[in-house]
Amino acid sequence: MAKKTDTRIRLRTGDRVRVMTGKSRGVEGEIIAVMPEKNRVVVKGVNVAKKTRRPTQENPRGGFDEREAPLHASNVRYLDPKTGTPSRLGSALEDGRKVRVSRKSGTKLSD
């Protein structure tokens, strides 16, 4: 069972992010999955790992599949839609609802 984290991931599926650390540093991509209980995100085309497939009747030779492995959420930064640079995310109240806000430009993000 995954350890419960106190931090909340403000990133959502479909957000454009830049990888800030690791072997894929500087690569930009779109989030395809968010795992808040593990504090991880999966970014399209980043951290690609080979998964071994055992032989089956449909695929008698077996082989390898390439799939994206999760990254820790602290290793990616949201890309500001206005400036295209990495930014932190905050929240603000708008009409009694909490909305995500880019800290760098103050742009309100639609969810």
- For residue range 61-102, list pLDDT tens digits in order: 999 999 999 999 999 999 998 999 999 999 999 888 999 999
Taking residues 14-20, what's their average pLDDT? 95
Q: Is residue 6 part of a domain?
A: no
In DSSP notation, 16-55 reads: EEEE-SSTTTT-EEEEEEEETTTTEEEETTSSEEEEEE--
Tokens 């206005």 correspond to: 82
Q: Is residue 21 part of a domain?
A: yes
pLDDT for 110: 76
Q: Is residue 65 part of a domain?
A: yes
Q: Is residue 64 part of a domain?
A: yes
pLDDT tier, 9 (very low <50, low <70, confident <90, very high otherwise): confident
Q: Is residue 88 part of a domain?
A: no
Q: Residue 40: which CATH number?
A: 2.30.30.30
Q: What is the domain count for the chain? A: 1
Give SS3 for 73: helix
Q: Is residue 56 part of a domain?
A: yes
pTM of the predicted protein model = 0.82
Q: Is residue 58 part of a domain?
A: yes
Please, are residues 34 and 49 in contact by the beta-carbon 8 Å criterion? no
pLDDT for 4: 63
Q: Is residue 49 part of a domain?
A: yes
Domain of residue 43 covers 16-79
